Amino acid sequence: MRIYFERSGGFTGMLLTSSVDTDSLSEEEAVFYQSKVEESGFFDLPARLGSPDAGADRFHYRLSVETKESHHSIDFGETSAPEALAPLIERLTALARSSR
């Protein structure tokens, strides 16, 4: 499984990106990412999630997941982020910050 993450916007307008290939991770890390994608119902989410109270200083996310069977991407604002994606977003944000 490959995961691509991008966070843009915010007060400073900083762009953060990260990517993960579960084949290159420890078994524990790979299981974390795979389970969070499955638990969130990621492949059933629409490609765009609306954000009724989006503002100029809010974060915007793009998350893409590729498996051997499928590929799916979603775009969403911080206020429309599904709660089930929170652990995945937090981990990917930390990964992006640590690789800067």
User: How many folded domains does the chain comprise?
Assistant: 1
pLDDT at 39 over 90: yes
Secondary structure element (H or E) that encloses residue 95, with its range: helix 86-98
Q: What is the pTM of this model?
A: 0.89
What pLDDT, on the 0 to 100 scale, is given for residue 56? 66
Looking at residue 51, what is its pLDDT? Answer: 57
Q: pLDDT-derived band of residue 79, with 50, 70 and 90 as boundaries? A: confident
* Segments forming the whole domain that contains residue 80: 2-98
pLDDT digits (tens, 9 = 90+) for 7-22: 998 877 789 999 999 9
Mean pLDDT, residues 28-38: 97
Higher-confidence position of 92 and 58: 92
